[in-house]
Chains A and B, each alone.
Chain A
């Protein structure tokens, strides 16, 4: 399934390319020790510039999900699952992704998941699969 890929920038490249080394890189603030997303040059919590990408476990849970049935483009393979995954490291640390590797109907809220990268050109998309 083809993907609309993001334009890589200094700020977002660690997130989109961390998967090349099998790592999910999330921005971390050295001052207040919190993680935040999306990545930016400043910590949105404490205003510190002492921020840098840090590898997280890649584990989390499904906060919400939807099964998309609509063919928005001719080359899509429906149905597919769009979800918001909350990472294990910090409450509220989350992003939109896809849940893959199991039937769409089997996905549920609070399901434990782990990251699985899918490479498209120079982007490694952090998708998630069920964590045993």
Chain B
């Protein structure tokens, strides 16, 4: 991949915010959103009137779904914003699509400050209906969706079945073991113990991991992230005006958003997925190298995805993620590549994408409290699974 223009270098993160994270939180999806967004705007030293763009993935699906109960449409009026551009919608390179779209809006001259947010209320919803997120409930009657109709007839009723297929194939091709995979869940739990907002903070042992219920072989309950209610917001600013804010700007050094394979859960490279294309694109847009990365916040909606991202981003060789994470010391807070330092989604809560960006910035700004790791300047964030994937390389100069 060759690129003539690296637009994201004109964009920086200037503020972050996050609501309470809980299981559940006794606040509406809109109230959570406002908590996150107002905190982020203030953190960036801005006022509501300064925000001239709004981005969200996936946005409101027009169904009030707990997966994304609040989109840009509802937020703009509620918060009294006057925007030059806004965008949501599901079809994009995964949970970081809002960041990527917002950065494009700034780089193309539409906006100076874009508010990116992501709200999720799955914990509240599941108090009412524990099968709320089963795929059979995504469409009424026969499945006409491009997304799922090739899977639901075979009772693939959760994404975990597809992730399990990737995992089993990874085990088969590379000799990855369940003990190695368990290190993702164990590392996240260890990190979560130091994060006051994390959902699960009690220590976890390898025995606990193997005692957890099998959901879809070889993936267990503890390989799945934990539903929560939360909203996270990020302020993107044009690089020249970002310097005026109270926080040292965190530059978007490079983004990855490529998909050079079919948009499909089973027609793609089963052990590298779209993440492979995303990683190649991101590194083609920067002179930095994987060895420059000081921390990595890697999607762990299911533990195997963190392993896939480690390989796809070149943080370890392809097929070697099992051996890389073995014993957990390399990926620990004091290891050579700390990952998911807030507990990830496995223990921190399924904030679904922007939580990783929030954590990366907190670490780069040195304000992660008890869980702060050694000072560093470069962090990579990647999110998504299967055909969905996006990444962003963040630099605090």
Please give the residue numbers on chain A whose beta carbons come within 8 Å of chain B beta carbons, in ascending order. 1, 3-9, 12, 37-38, 44, 63-70, 72-73, 76, 80, 82-84, 92, 94-98, 109, 123, 125, 127
Contacting residues, chain A, for B217 (C-beta < 8 A): 66-67, 69
Selected interface stretch from B34-42, B141-149, B325-333: B141-149
- What residues of B have a CB within 8 angstroms of the CB of A44 in the complex? 262
Number of interchain pairs (Cβ within 8 Å): 119
A-B contact pairs, 21 of them (CB 8 A): A3-B152, A6-B153, A7-B141, A7-B142, A38-B264, A65-B168, A67-B216, A68-B164, A68-B215, A69-B217, A70-B158, A70-B215, A70-B216, A72-B131, A76-B157, A82-B156, A82-B164, A82-B165, A82-B216, A98-B155, A123-B153
Residues of A within 8 A of B143 (CB): 4-7
| A12–B146 alpha-carbon span in the complex (Å) | 11
Query: Which of B152, B160, B169, B267 contacts A4 (CB under 8 A)?
Result: B152
Instruction: State whether A97 touches B165 (Cβ < 8 A).
Output: no
A93 vs B316: C-alpha distance in the bound complex, in angstroms?
30
Report the separation of the CA atoms of residues A116 and B153 in the bound assembly, to the nearest whole angstrom.
Answer: 15
Say whether A4 contacts B136, CB under 8 Å.
yes
B interface residues, tally (CB under 8 Å) = 41
Contact at A72–B144, with CB atoms within 8 Å?
no
Partner pick for A84 among B215, B218, B266, CB 8 A cutoff: B266
- Please, which residue of chain B has its CB at the minimum distance from the CB of A38? B150
A1 to B136, CA, bound (A): 14
With A82-B165, A94-B266, A95-B266 as contacts: A7 and B149 at CB distance below 8 Å = yes
Task: Using CB atoms, name the residue of chain B closest to A72.
Answer: B157
CB of B387 to closest CB in A, whole Å: 13
18 new A-B pairs (CB below 8 Å) besides A44-B262, A65-B168, A82-B164? A3-B153, A4-B143, A6-B153, A7-B149, A64-B168, A69-B216, A70-B160, A70-B215, A72-B134, A73-B134, A82-B216, A83-B165, A94-B267, A96-B151, A96-B162, A96-B165, A96-B266, A125-B154
Q: How many Å lie between the Cα of A65 and that of B144 in the bound state?
A: 25
- The answer on a CB contact under 8 Å between A97 and B168 is no
Which B residues form the contact surface with A (CB < 8 A)?
131, 134-136, 141-144, 149-158, 160-162, 164-169, 172, 213-219, 262, 264-267, 270
Chain A neighbourhood of B214, CB < 8 A = 67, 69
Complex contacts, A84 vs chain B, CB 8 Å: 165, 266, 270
Residues in A neighbouring B219, C-beta threshold 8 A: 66
User: In angstroms, how far is the closest chain A Cβ from the Cβ of B133?
Assistant: 9
Q: How far, in whole Å, are A99 and B230 apart by their CA atoms in the complex?
A: 39
With A44-B262, A67-B217, A84-B165 as contacts: A5 and B153 at CB distance below 8 Å: yes
How far is the CB of B294 from the nearest CB of chain A, in Å? 35
Question: Could you say which residues of chain B place their CB within 8 Å of the CB of A9?
Answer: 144
Complex interface: chain A residues within 8 A of B262 (CB): 44
The distance in angstroms between the C-alpha atoms of A12 and B131, with both chains bound, is 29
- Bound CA–CA A125/B155 (angstroms): 11
Of A38, A66, A109, A123, which one neighbours B161 at CB under 8 angstroms?
A66
> Residue on A with the closest CB to B213?
A69
- Residues of B within 8 Å of A64, CB to CB, are 165-166, 168-169, 172, 270
Complex CA–CA separation, A84 to B219 (angstroms) = 17
**A64–B168 CA distance with the chains assembled, in angstroms:** 6
In the complex, chain A residues whose CB is within 8 Å of the CB of B264 = 38
Q: Determine whether the beta carbon of B131 is less than 8 Å from that of A73.
A: yes
- Do the beta carbons of A37 and B155 come within 8 Å of each other? no
CA distance A12 to B161 in the complex (A): 23
B14 to chain A, nearest CB (A): 42
**Chain B nearest CB, measured from A100 CB (Å):** 10
Tell me which residues across on chain B come within 8 A of A94, comparing CB atoms: 266-267
Quote the shortest CB–CB distance from B218 to chain A (angstroms): 8
Interfacial chain B residues near A125, Cβ < 8 Å? 153-154
> Roughly how many angstroms separate A82 CA and B213 CA in the complex, as a whole number?
18
Contact A66 B134 (CB under 8 A): no
Contacts of B149 in A (CB 8 A): 6-7, 12
Contact (Cβ within 8 A) A109 B169: yes
